[in-house]
Amino acid sequence: MSPTTHRQPLLEIEDLTVQFATADGPARAVDGLSLSIKPGEALALVGESGCGKTATALAIMDLLPAHATVSGTLRWDGAALDPRRQRGQGLAMIFQEPATALNPVLSVQTQVAEPLKVHRRLGRLAARQEVLRLLDLAGLPQPETLLGAFPHQLSGGQRQRVMIAMALACQPRLLLADEPTTALDASVRAGILDTLARLQRELGLAILLVSHDLGVVQRIADRVAVIYAGRIVELAPCQRLLEAPVHPYTRALLACLPDPFSDTPPAEPIPGQPPRATARPTGCAFHPRCPMAEPACLRLEPALEPMARAPHRLVACPLVHGEPA
């Protein structure tokens, strides 16, 4: 986990809103989300299904489907972000299912070389050398043996590493990883995560990790943003968030984590379900399920603000602002 320096943010997101046109009406997947990522920092977006974390990542990469409307400002290195130009160069993305993200009829060499030929205009021999270097960087031992292999001949972990190699091809400064280990065996996950951490250290690569798995997050992230109903409800350094969560949702969520080392009976689960994107509650989206809810919570949408006694931590709940953290 690299120390973050106070430099200009690499990526700034301001008031991002993503809305999908659906049969049941407009669905707001992301609702006024703002955050910034510093160079070399690993930031995790954490939340449950449908909270909008994947939509956020896709919005940054401009990979949303046609029926999505996006508004808000994205800034890269201070200037307006043009994802199409940055894609493959400043920004790169790896996805959840390496089996389907790789082209099954192209060999490893062909696929990893493709961005090299397109963006960096390398010739055949130079590309081959570079492919070997990238595969090695992604943690694949004996990469020469894998050049001619096809995706179905590789294990899940190997496929994911090939995808990482492809993502690194154009020397990105920010890597977006959407649930990169969810589809992999538990024994392989740690290796992939350690590789990502190593790349962060060695290359000064910033990482935006999207995950629902807190264990994964704990292993890599410097800071964590908890997302609920399309908004950030808490943003804090990783370890602090896990040890001392502040927002009622984060607290309830962490209480749901089953602990194999403890005999204490599990806490009552959070009642109800997260709201559907087509029917968000008024005011604070969490209030129908919140144990601390007050009448004001129905009316006011809480803003994400620094805590009084810990300004580096942001929380979107006026009831807990004054707490120590």
Partner 1 sequence: MTAALLLEVRGLYKRFPAQRGLLGGGRPAVDAVVDVDLTIPAGSTLALVGESGSGKSTAGLCVLRLVEPDAGSIKFEGRDLAAMGQAALRPLRPGFQAVFQDPWASLNPRLTVRDLVGEALEVHGLAQGSAVDDRVAAALKDVGLPGDAMTRRPSAFSGGERQRIAIARALALEPRLLVCDEPTSALDLSVQAQVLALLRQLQQERGLAYLFISHDLGVVRQLAQQVAVMDAGRIVELGETRSLFEAPCHATTRRLLKSTVAPRKRTRTV
Residues that bind partner 1 (CB under 8 A): 48-49, 185-187, 190, 212-218, 239, 242-243, 252-254, 256-263, 265-266, 268-270, 273-274
As measured in angstroms, the least distance from the Cβ of 124 to partner 1 is 28
183 C-beta neighbours (distance < 10 Å), count: 16
As measured in angstroms, the least distance from the Cβ of 262 to partner 1 is 8
5 CB burial (10 A radius; 0-12, 13-18, 19+): exposed
As measured in angstroms, the least distance from the Cβ of 308 to partner 1 is 25
70 C-beta neighbours (distance < 10 Å), count: 16
Q: Which is closer to partner 1, CB of 87 or CB of 289?
A: 289
Classified as helix, coil or strand, 285 is coil
As measured in angstroms, the least distance from the Cβ of 215 to partner 1 is 2
Q: Which is closer to partner 1, CB of 273 or CB of 282?
A: 273
Q: How far is it, in rounded angstroms, from Cα 221 to Cα 321?
A: 24
Is the CB of residue 48 less than 8 Å from the CB of residue 229? no
Q: Which is closer to partner 1, CB of 17 or CB of 182?
A: 182
Taking phi first (over 0 means left), then psi (-120 to 50 degrees means alpha), and beta for anything else, what does residue 108 get?
alpha
As measured in angstroms, the least distance from the Cβ of 248 to partner 1 is 12
Q: Which is closer to partner 1, CB of 216 or CB of 316?
A: 216
As measured in angstroms, the least distance from the Cβ of 242 to partner 1 is 5
Q: Which is closer to partner 1, CB of 144 or CB of 243?
A: 243
Angle at 239 (CA atoms; ends 40, 271), nearest 5 degrees: 120
Q: Which is closer to partner 1, CB of 105 or CB of 261?
A: 261
Q: How far is it, in rounded angstroms, from Cα 180 to Cα 189?
A: 9
